[in-house]
A and B are shown apart, each in its own frame.
Chain A
Amino acid sequence: MKFSGLTRSEARRIALLSTPVLISIGILFVSILPWHFNAMAPGALVPILPAIYYWVLHHPRAMPLGAVFLLGLVSDVLGMDPLGVGILTYLAAYGAGALLRRHIRDGSLPLAYAGLAIVAVFSHAVGWLAASVALGRWIGLEPALFLVGIDLMTYPFMAYVFARAQRAWLVERRA
């Protein structure tokens, strides 16, 4: 069966490939709802970076560079950070994750966790630098450190959910 020039299996494949990006955009929107997490200042639960890291590590085609740029742009345009900060943070995560991929892809969870720590520290350092440029002055390191903490805290849960999704996806492909 064909619709809009695509076979059903091609459409399904595209839908499956775009799922991680769509889930990440979904997480972004859900995280800005008024949950009253402001007490956790500075910053809130916006675990996009762990999502990028997971997919770059395990299935880079599901999280292409363009999608990472888009996620950063959506986050910045929404007003969550000064313009460009989200983009550069997520691009740094993508780049660092891609560099580490070879070494930790088939490793244990602690190794993947250590990789995330490196990626998060590097990416949020880039984000902090970009925010300082955007705001025109050096800002405290607390927000960046807090965001690293959030990423490390949320990764096990995110990795579990994404691993389940990926397994279901592989079963689907084999069928």
Chain B
Amino acid sequence: MFAILAGCALTVLGRSDLTFIRNSRLTMLDMLAPALTSLSRPIETFHRLSASVSDYLSLRSANEELKRENALLQVWQKTAWQLKQENDRLRALAHFQPPPQATFVTAPVIAELAGGYTRALIVLAGEDNRITPNQAVVTERGLVGRILDVGEHASRALLLTDINSHLPVVIERSKQNAILSGTSEGATELTLLSVDADVRIDDRIVTSGAGGAIPPGLPVGRVAHVEGRKFDVALYADLDQLDYVQIVNYGVEAILQDLPPSLSLRKNSQ
């Protein structure tokens, strides 16, 4: 009976996000990080080997696909170059102040926490690497989630598919704001859209930057299925193949790095 009461009490206390609960989670994270790193290495090697075998088997078709893609990209490169020139001229005319450049930390994924109701990752980067909560976690394809807890050497990242994940996004075509929420099925959908929202299949979804922690314009996914007022989103990032992720610092740290040396607080404090 005592055990059941203790379990119920922890369930209720867990909602309050108490410091000692958070601290015990972080302590456990740091204690386990070295063991998880060592144990995940052979698995990573296995994944890499199987990927190499798969790549080798599809060499011919991949080569043809790359040739086609290369021809297309060359056309786009010319267009991009012309647009960049034009953009630079317009920015100079308008005295445009560019946003701060983001800094990245690349970290290996050492654990996948997929219980029944949580979908998160443990990555091998923590306070030592200047990781802070709420920083964006991305791959080369798009956003994956955000940092939730930061230990000394490891951090816990909440995936976009977690039921607790709610991200401010914008539909690129119609410029309408929405919230991308994780579902209990481990998928993502758009919520809090206005009644007359204009959403179509294949619409690109990017971060809106609202809240400040996650930069605007990060690619998230595309609208994959529309059924009445339910809009399912397919993420660009492949959450099943996360070996390494990048953690984006777009906050105060990045702004401080962009300041001229005479104004840099970090330099003054050293």
Q: Footprint of B on A, CB under 8 Å?
A: 29-30, 32-39, 41-44, 46, 65-66, 68-69, 72-73, 75-88, 91, 124, 127-128, 130-131, 133-136, 139-140, 142-144, 146-147
Contacts and interface: CB of A to CB of B under 8 A. Distances in A.
Nearest to A140: B184
Given A34-B242, A37-B114, A134-B15, A142 B40 contact: no
B28 interface: yes
A139 B113 CA distance: 19
A82 B184 contact: no
Contacts of A134: 11, 14-15
A142 B185 contact: yes
Given A77-B28, A80-B114, A146-B116, 7 more contacts: A37-B112, A42-B185, A69-B6, A78-B28, A81-B115, A82-B11, A143-B117
A82 B119 contact: no
Interface stretch (B71-79, B125-133, B156-164): B156-164
B36 interface: yes
B187 interface: yes
Given A41-B161, A72-B7, A135 B187 contact: no
Interface centre among B29, B39, B184 (most CB of A within 10 A): B184
B43 A34 contact: yes
A38 B32 CA distance: 21
Nearest to B183: A140
B13 to A, nearest CB: 7
B119 A36 contact: no
